[in-house]
Amino acid sequence: MSGDNWIVLVTLVAYKLVLVGVGIWASSRNRTEGDFLLASQGLGAWVAGLSYAASTSSAWVLLGFSGFVYANGLSALWMVPGIWGGYVAVWLFFGKRLRAETHTQGHVTPTDFIIAGLGKQSRRIIAAIASAMILFCFIFYIAAQFGAAAAAFETQFGLGVTESVLIGAAVVLVYAVLGGFWAVSVTDMLQGALMALVAVILPVAAFLAAGGVSGIAEALSQSAPDGYLDITGGHGGFVLLGFVLGVWGVGVNAMGQPQLTARLMAVKDEQARMRGFSIAIIWAVMVFTGMTVLALAGRALVGGSANGESLFYALSNQLFPPILAGLVIAAVLSAVMSTVDSILLSASAAVAHDLGVAQRFKGREVLVSRIVMVSIAAIAVWMTLSVPSTIFARVLFAWSAIGAAFGPIIAMRVLGFEPKGWAVGSAMCLGFGLTVVFNFLGSLPLAPEGSMFLIQWAHAPGDPFERVVPWIPALFVLWLGGRER
């Protein structure tokens, strides 16, 4: 191993020891299932805000979003207002009701909020359906994060894929299994702070190396394809409208993510919620702006033939001296590996709590939740090694399906509608099922090149059908079967 790689390794080990220490510290606070899965509603503003940001955007924004902008140019930026809007909706629109009802009714998971007020039989059936959906989608999501960590290990240390995935999974499991929601939230806060720092340092270095605004513009105008520097991407009319709605749908679907809404359920009071929102949205502006600059400057520096999802690591090695490059890569690699913790905890909660598995073992609920977590991680490791896919594609599918399944129900309840059991179950299945259908259609050669934009957009980040359309029938069914409070 080279001297530079030793720097990365030592930094990575030191950071991971800190995370394990957090897990050990938090383990003493996990006496009940509510402690392990929701930190007993004790999160302050900084922990809630930064952990929310890191949970929603780590590997996805550093590697996936920067790669998306690198490949597609300025038209990719239509996604950003939708994502920021998702932050606003979750924190300001959903947050007050989620936190207050959790406090008064003792909810432990977002599924508890979704099924509140329904009959016993409806609660049981809908909780089972929701758990199955969460488990199915989040295994894809976890696999994407393990894949991101594995790519970094392969690049830096020359390890094989199997060894890389196993190392990343093992480290995350140690502190997540020990510390539960407390450890996950505190470590995610550390990740968020590191990401914000790196999202300033590296883009500034790339911007200067590419010659500033004039240098980047000149390089891209000469080498980038037509439409790359056009905010419309060379499209207009209904095609542009559909693309914009599709990428905004990424932000819309934040409203249905259990790992995000759980942060709002766990925040300790209203003052912490409002301060947490300010912290989270400032973080989002900094990081997404930084990754946009990095992508465009990177395209100017390395051309258009590089792997967009590896651009971050490539520019770190190219622009920084060995010691600083090692520190940056190690810190970000830690954040990428650790992002899986929130998703893993939500998937575990869906099985252990929502399905009632843990409740069958009175006094051992925390132990059962930990066993479930390890089992889910093992399945995700297998999927990472067996089902190749890009980080962006895996995350977008899981994000869209879960968002369409749960987002409409949460939105209607926050608006004051209390849908009946049949409406909740039907809306959940419609949102999820239509997302799966559109995703599947996008993988089939249904039409030749130049066909209708419905076919062309399917399975793409700008697909309005997979990202937005599933919400429409779900909301309609909830309205039909709802009653205002």
What pLDDT does residue 2 have?
57
Residue 461 has a pLDDT of 45
Residue 314: is its pLDDT beyond 80? yes
Tokens of 466: 């997979």
- Evaluate if residue 280 carries a pLDDT over 90: yes
pLDDT confidence of 427, banded at 50, 70, 90?
very high
Residue 54 pLDDT greater than 60, yes or no: yes
- In one letter, which amino acid is 414? V
222-256 pLDDT tens trace: 887 877 888 876 667 777 777 777 778 778 888 88
pLDDT at 426 over 50: yes
Contact 336, 54 (CB under 8 A): no
Residue 393 is predicted with a pLDDT of: 63
Across the range 124-134, mean pLDDT stands at 92
Across 13-17, 346-350, 381-385, 418-422, which has the greatest mean pLDDT?
Answer: 418-422
Is 267 in a helix, a strand, or coil?
strand
Q: How many CA atoms lie within 13 A of 323 on its CB side?
A: 0
**What is the predicted pLDDT for the residue at 155?**
66
75-99 core/surface letters (b: 16 or more CB in 10 A; e: else): bbbbbbebbeebbebbbeebbebbb
pLDDT tier at 476, thresholds 50, 70, 90: very high
CA distances (Å), 153 to each of 33, 168, 453, in order?
35, 9, 39
Q: Would the pTM count as exceeding 0.85?
A: no
pLDDT at position 39: 67
Confidence category of residue 37, pLDDT binned at 50, 70, 90:
confident
Question: What's the rounded mean pLDDT across residues 343-370?
Answer: 80
pLDDT category of residue 193 using cuts at 50, 70 and 90: confident
Average pLDDT of the residues in 343-372: 81
pLDDT for the residue 456? 37
Is the pLDDT assigned to residue 262 strictly greater than 80? yes
Q: How large is the average pLDDT for residues 114-132?
A: 91
Amino acid type, 398: A
**Which pLDDT score is estimated for 59?**
67
Residue 231 to residues 53, 69, 76: CA-CA distances in angstroms?
A: 26, 11, 8
Rounded distance between C-alpha atoms, residue 211 and residue 300, angstroms:
9
Q: Please tell me the predicted confidence (pLDDT) of residue 358.
A: 72
Which tokens in the block code for residue 288?
A: 């997404």
- Structure token digits, residue 89: 């909706």
Number of H helices, E strands in the chain: 22, 0
Whether 126 and 114 have beta carbons less than 8 Å apart is answered as yes
Whether the per-residue pLDDT at 283 is higher than 90: the answer is yes
Say if residue 287 is exposed, middle or buried (CB neighbours under 10 Å; 0-12, 13-18, 19+). buried
Average confidence score pLDDT of the chain: 81
417: helix, strand or coil: strand
Can you read off the two tokens belonging to residue 174?
């140690």
Residue-wise pLDDT tens digits, 293-307? 999 999 998 887 777
Inform me whether the pLDDT recorded for 444 exceeds 50.
Answer: no
Task: Look up the CATH superfamily of 3-390.
Answer: Sodium/glucose cotransporter (1.20.1730.10)
Of 90-94, 247-251, 436-440, give the range with the top mean pLDDT. 90-94
Instruction: Dump pLDDT digits (tens) for 380-405.
Output: 888 878 766 555 566 777 888 899 99
- 322 SS3 class: helix
What percent of the chain lies above the pLDDT cut of 90?
A: 25
Tally Cβ neighbours within 10 Å of residue 418.
17
Q: Which two tokens stand for residue 100?
A: 């207050």
- Give the residue, 70 or 172, on which the prediction is more confident: 70
Residue 169 has pLDDT above 90, yes or no: no
Rounded Cα distance, 333 and 12, in Å: 8
Cα distance from N-terminal residue to C-terminal residue, the chain: 65
Q: Domain locations in the chain?
A: 3-390
d(CA 42, CA 32): 14
Q: What one-character DSSP code corresponds to residue 43?
A: B
